[in-house]
Structure 1
Amino acid sequence: MTLYLTRFSYMPETWARLVQNPEDRRDAARKYIESVGGNLHGFWYAFGEHDGYNLWEAPDNVSMAAVCIAIGGGGALSKFETTPLLTVEETLEALTRAKTVGYRQPGA
């Protein structure tokens, strides 16, 4: 399974609803990813460019995309970005395969 990092920001209205009715959103996030056979590894709030971060594991890109589409289309977020994460081993394999790509700089 692949790990994914998501960064999200709530709409002001979402924060207002959470102030009126505080809720542990980890439970909802866990339910969403488990519905496609994945796992939630972490859920953090932050201040700065994004309101929060999640670390998810999903069986494949299509499964994670389904979760992202459902969450992003829900209307509670102003931003939702997803980054697939590579293990060190996957990166080493990519580095080895890069030798065979035959890249040439433009104009060279």
Structure 2
Amino acid sequence: MSKYLVRARLTVDGLKGLLKEGGTARREVVGRMVQSLGGQLESMYWAFGEEDIYVTVDLPSNASAAALGLVVSAAGGVRTSMVVLLTPEEIDEAVRQKVDYRAPGA
């Protein structure tokens, strides 16, 4: 499984829905959605700032992550962006790989 950070901005409709249902109900909906994709909800927080909601999830694939983002954004209540999160072990694997690259102008 891969870990993702989903950042969401509420639309006016999303804000109205949140005011009607509350945060706990939305967390339950998100948890069921993630489980339906074969994943697990790790955390969900509301925040002040440019993004309204931060969610961390474990999902089986990038395709699952894309499906989540597409369906949620298409529903119109939020606009999402997603960040793939890497473990220290994945970074270790990355730095062991040999890459043939020349910087511009070098």
Rounded Cα–Cα distance in structure 2 between residues aligned with 1:45 and 1:13:
17
What's the counterpart of residue 107 of structure 1? 105
What aligned pairs does 1:56-75 form with structure 2 within 5 A after superposition? 56-75=57-76
Aligned residues: 105
Counterparts of 1:18 and 1:66 in 2: how far apart (Å)? 22
Match of 1:47 in 2: 48
SS at match of 2:100: coil
Q: Residues 68 and 46 of structure 1: is their aligned pair in 2 closer, same or farther, counting only changes over 3 Å?
A: same
Unpaired segments of 5 or more residues in structure 2?
none
Query: Cα RMSD over matched residues?
Result: 1.3
> Which of structure 1's runs of 4+ aligned residues deviate more than 6 A?
none
Q: Give a deviation string over 1:65-94, Cα, whole Å, max 9, x none.
A: 1111110111001x3110111100000110
- % identity of equivalent residues: 34
Counterpart of 2:7 in structure 1 is 7
TM-score norm. by structure 2 comes to 0.91
Hey, which of these two has a bigger chunk of helix by percent?
2
1:33-80 deviations in whole A, cap 9, x for unaligned? 111100000000001010010000001111111111110111001x31
Instruction: State the shift of 1:23 in Å.
Output: 4.8
Q: Which runs of 5+ in 1 are unaligned?
A: none
The one-letter code matched in structure 1 to 2:91 is T
Q: Which residue number in structure 1 is paired with residue 18 of structure 2?
A: 18
